[in-house]
Amino acid sequence: MRFNDIHVHLYEKQTSSARELLKNMDKLGVEKVALLSWYGDDLRKQRENIERMASLVAVCPDRLYGMAWIEPRIKTPLDMLDWAVEKKGCRGFKMIPNHWYPYEERILRYGERMAQLDVPCLFHSGILYFKTFSSRFCRPVYYEDLLTIKNFRFALAHVSWPWTDECLALFGEFRCMRAQGCASAEMFIDLTPGTPPNYRRQVVERLITFGAEDFMLYGTDANFDGIMDSARIKRGDSSLFRQLKLGKNTIEKIARKNFDRFFKV
């Protein structure tokens, strides 16, 4: 089975070409990847990183989906979101709570603009192995206010580990509010580890049991140069899906179809 990967990083010192990435994807059985531009410490660097990512994605936009990293702490202007989508062909955005909370009014304005552009956002959620030391801002419950954004699509990465039950409960709230006609936002769950191997079976099983199979996205946290490293994760998850006796349709949703729904392909 071929997979789509929602979570592949483009680091600053990347050396591979887009053609090399595509060749490695073919070896792995990966059909599409969401390629995340790297963090920028200022607006100039952020723009450069987005432009570099966009130049790679342009080689094969049917298989490489660019997602631009947006950082409120450096006051990314809202019109940069328009530029990224309309001029650089980005399919969405990536954000990590860096000493800001997702419920802040200024953050909701970014989500509103993304919804207007009809593109999704992938948020980091859970413990954060990153130099900002801002894990405490990344708990899933802090994303509850995204319910107020009309037609906003977003995903929480890493199943919010170690707050996986909280992530699942938040997903249940979004599902309930949509069913009652109280909200139109959609929450997806990015399976990218996160979750250590001894937790992963329990987490995936709980997601399936809770009825989240239409909103689970496969991801690896690979980097552009080292995407072959994701082979281990792909093998492990394929084995896990078999152990859980997931049906073919369920596996196809997680592996490929939900990715396409997330991006409205």
How many angstroms separate the CA atoms of 145 and 127, rounded?
A: 20
pLDDT band at 168 (very low <50, low <70, confident <90, very high): very high
Q: Is the pLDDT of residue 199 over 90?
A: no
pLDDT digits (tens, 9 = 90+) for 74-121: 999 999 999 999 999 999 999 999 999 999 999 999 999 999 999 999
Structure tokens belonging to residue 223:
């980097």
Average pLDDT over all residues of the chain: 93
Q: Is the pLDDT of residue 227 over 90?
A: no
Which residue is listed with tokens 């909701």?
A: 108
User: How many angstroms from the chain centroid is the CA of residue 168?
Assistant: 16
How many angstroms separate the CA atoms of 128 and 134, rounded?
A: 7
DSSP code, position 254:
I
Which residue is listed with tokens 């509010």?
A: 177
Structure tokens belonging to residue 128:
């954060």
Mean predicted confidence (pLDDT) in 214-232: 79
∠ CA 256-124-195, rounded to 5°: 70
**H or E element, residue 8:** strand 3-9
Structure tokens belonging to residue 106:
């200024």
pLDDT at 15: 78
The model carries a pTM of: 0.94
Higher per-residue confidence, 222 vs 161: 161
**Listed residue (264, 247, 224) closest to 5, CA to CA:** 224
pLDDT at 229: 59
**H or E element, residue 24:** helix 18-28
pLDDT at 61: 96
∠ CA 248-251-256, rounded to 5°: 120
Q: Is the pLDDT of residue 135 over 80?
A: yes
Q: What percent of the chain has pLDDT over 70?
A: 97
CA dihedral 147, 64, 137, 187 (to 10 degrees): 20
Delineate the domains of the chain, giving CATH numbers in brackets.
Answer: 3-262 (3.20.20.140)
pLDDT at 152: 98
Mean predicted confidence (pLDDT) in 134-161: 96
Strand order from edge to edge, sheet including 3-9: 216-217, 186-190, 153-156, 121-123, 92-95, 64-69, 30-36, 3-9, 222-223
How many angstroms separate the CA atoms of 111 and 123, rounded?
A: 11
How many angstroms separate the CA atoms of 123 and 188, rounded?
A: 10
